[in-house]
Each structure stands twice: as structure tokens, then as C-alpha cells.
Amino acid sequence: MFIDSHCHINFPDLAGRLPEIFDLMTANQVSHALCISVELEKFPEIRALAEAHPNVYASVGVHPDHEDCTEPTVEELVALADHPRVVAIGETGLDYFRLTGDLEWQRERFRTHIRAARACRKPLVIHTRSAADDTLRIMREERAGEAGGVMHCFTESLAVAEAAIELGFYISFSGIVTFKNAASLREVASAIPLERMLIETDSPYLAPAPHRGQTNQPGFVKHVAEEIARVRGLTAEAVGEATTENFFRLFAAARPN
């Protein structure tokens, strides 16, 4: 079995196709999916999906790209995370690629999420783009390792991956690892410990080969596992087994009874 550790099936591109999406998950042996929050206004949709579908989990958080939205407080995040189907805080982090100028608000929001994760003892889902140094610095300053979590849709260097792993974090690979121009990322995927790895789609974005150009969905996550297996000299089943166990180890609240 495979698990999609990061998707957005509540987004318009996917929300109207849920029966089809769940059928493809079953056909491709994708047992579970974690639907990720990007703004508090839409969080009730995500929580409702997780309540309605036993193989879907939820997170709560505000994406670093969302500048004009409700700013969360530690107390609010902790309260919303107090639900058996909510297994993580995020996605949160820093993005200096899409936004420029004074981004201190982004760094403060990241700190808020880390403090909430430590308070409620649920792991973080961290987004970082063109901001690795500040991301790692704030993780250290705010003791993010006490909560643990995952560096989602990882595209940074091996050194950044190793620094995150040293802080107790997992590294999650998306369909980007299948792209022709992603040789350096494949090197990271071949080098880090398998016991610190997750796989994801980040759907509806970043469809892996052989589905480039299509709307991504959780059922495609097996292609991420297949590519990682290829570069590591393993079977896709071995990657699926390891990343599934890693998912339930990290997101302990999601582990089936």
C-alpha cells in the first residue's frame, strides 16, 4: 500500500470528482491521504472530508503564501487541532520565491504554527522555497524538533535534508522527483535514510510522469514511489511499505487501531 502524505482534494479541481479519486486510489493501492489546510476559512471543508471518509486525515494551518487571510493564533490552531481526524499543524513555513518585500509577517506566522504544534503535540507540515536558511534557523530557535514533522514537497539540497533530519523531521518527495530536470533531487532521494522518507502528490499540482500536464490526484502517488525505488535499487512495494510505516509513526493520531 501507498499513502499520499500531502494533497488538497478539497480544491475545486478535485472536490467535484471525489468518487473517481477514491476509486483510483483503490486501484493503485493508495490506502490513505492527508488533506492539507492552507487557510482557516476553508478548514471546515477539510475536517468534514476527514470525518466522512475513514481513509482521509486533515491538518490545520495557513500557508505562507496566503498574505491576505485570517492570521491564526496559537490558541486557535491548538483548539482546531483538538479533533481525532486532525493529525498535523500546517502547512506552514517560508516562501521567498512567490512573495518579496518585508516578509517578517511570514516568519511570525511560522513561529505561531511551531508553537501551536509544540503545545498540542502534533507534527508540523513545513513548506520551504528559496528560504531554507531562515526556515532551519526558525525551526531551531522555536524548538520545532519537539513537535517533529515533515519537510513537504522537498526540493532543497542534501545538506538541507540532513539538517532537517537532524532536527527530527521527515523528508517528503512529490512528483517533482520524476521530472527530467530533477537529477539533483533524485540524488537526495537516493541518499537520505529510507526510514525518514514520505511520499506525496501535492495534488492537484505537480502530476508525476507519466501524467505530466494532467490534474494530479492521490492515486498517482505510486509513481513517486516507483521513481524512488528505481534510484535506490528497491521495489516500489518496499518503498511503499517503508513510507507507509513512516507516515503512521509520524502522524501517530492516524494509526489504525
pLDDT in 10s for each residue of the chain, 257 residues: 999 999 999 999 999 999 999 999 999 999 999 999 999 999 999 999 999 999 999 999 999 998 888 899 999 999 999 999 999 999 999 999 988 889 999 999 999 999 999 999 999 999 999 999 999 999 999 999 999 999 999 999 999 999 999 999 999 999 999 999 999 999 999 999 999 999 999 999 999 999 999 999 999 999 999 999 999 999 999 999 999 999 999 999 778 76
Q: E strands along 40-156, which residues?
A: 56-60, 86-95, 124-129, 149-151
| Burial class, 31, CB count within 10 angstroms (exposed 0-12 / middle 13-18 / buried 19+) | middle
Instruction: Cell 498517482: give the residue.
Output: 220
Query: What is the per-residue pLDDT for 253?
Result: 77
Measured distance CA(92)–CA(149) in Å, rounded: 11
Task: Say how far residue 136 (Cα) sits from the centre of its chain.
Answer: 17
Query: What is the per-residue pLDDT for 120?
Result: 97
Query: What is the per-residue pLDDT for 257?
Result: 64
Half-sphere exposure of 242 (CA within 13 A, CB side): 21
Query: What is the per-residue pLDDT for 69?
Result: 87
The shares of helix, strand and coil residues in the chain, as percent rounded to the nearest 5, are 50, 20, 35
Measured distance CA(32)–CA(249) in Å, rounded: 14
Query: What is the per-residue pLDDT for 100?
Result: 87
Measured distance CA(109)–CA(188) in Å, rounded: 29
Query: What is the per-residue pLDDT for 239?
Result: 98
Give this prediction's pTM: 0.97
CA distance to 1, 18, 47, 79, 177, per residue, from 82 (Å): 28, 26, 11, 5, 34
